[in-house]
Amino acid sequence: MRLGTAAMNIRGYESGDEQSIVQLWNSALRNDPINMPVFERKILLEPNFDPRGCILAFESATLVGYAQCMVRRYPNYHDGLEQGKGWITVFMAGTPAVGDAVLRSAGDYFAAKGANQLWFSGFTPNYFWPGIDASSYPHLHKMLLDAGYVDASEALAMDAPLWPEFRLPPDIDEIERRLEKEGIVVRSPETADLVSLLDFLRTNFSADWYRHCLDQLSAGASKSQFTIAVRGREVLGYAQFWDGDGYDWWGPGEHFGPFGVKESQRGKGLGSVILKRTLENMRKSGSHHAFFLWTDRRAARLYERFGFRVSRRFTVMRKEVAG
């Protein structure tokens, strides 16, 4: 394959490529820099990583394009292997010709794996963004569109200040008192709640939520990083917070979520009280800020009552391939 007068070589990952990938990443995705420890943990040490799915495009000896393709090799807890699905979690290319070549090679990889529903880029647990930030990287968005991907949904990232002041909705104490009269208590979990909490997540939410909770607890995270709503020992809702993407990601930090309420219990203010308690615990742990990467417009209205504002918009993209 050729681009102009320079030969383009496309191949999978080989030991020694790491520095070139991180350098290209930080040059091409300037709003999303990465360091080597995060690359190691979220790419190379991801159990489903396949060197052949790491699509690298070189002109001479210079790396000019990269797509990280993921197909599950191991079951994702109760979501299983999610057969037929493939994910591009990272994509970068400086020119349309490079982008086309990289995405064609990605398509060949997915076809060989039997994946015909392709996504950019919500592979869990080790994703970087919900989708493409089209305002930051319009050229990459266009390359994906030209390759047959379509805009599937919008994901909103939101941020809120927690320091020095933190203002709560005026009706939150009244909501909490009403819930307590119904026998619903919002608190951090105790040892006796752990099995019920994991059953709640397994029954009501995706395997990604279950895994985040299980991994964080198994790593020794403080129970104050979790908030649950219970009636007796029945868990009705849940939230947690954690750190960034480094090796100590499970420690206390500014990353809020996951956060959810059992469907039959929604609409009574339970989520508001869980959110209040979690943000208060974040403040007590020293956090000056709270953020998350992924919600929709409907849920954003709840967060706005607590001072969250949209900080970034992502487009989740999908491509259906005939079997």
**Percentage of the chain modeled with pLDDT above 90:** 95
pLDDT of residue 246: 87
Nearest to 287 by CA among 314, 254, 322, 323: 254
The model carries a pTM of: 0.93
pLDDT of residue 121: 84
- The interaxial angle of helices 270-284 and 172-181, nearest 10 deg, is 120
pLDDT of residue 12: 98
Strands 6-11, 226-231: pairing kind:
unpaired
| Integer Cα distance of 101 and 52 in angstroms | 15
Residue 208, both tokens: 């990604």
pLDDT of residue 143: 98
Going by C-beta distance under 8 Å and a sequence separation of 6 or more, which residues neighbour residue 185? 179, 229, 230, 231
**Percentage of the chain modeled with pLDDT above 70:** 98
User: In what helix (H) or strand (E) does residue 7 lie, and over which residues does it extend?
Assistant: strand 6-11
Q: Domains of the chain, with CATH numbers?
A: 2-155+316-320 (3.40.630.30), 163-287 (3.40.630.30)
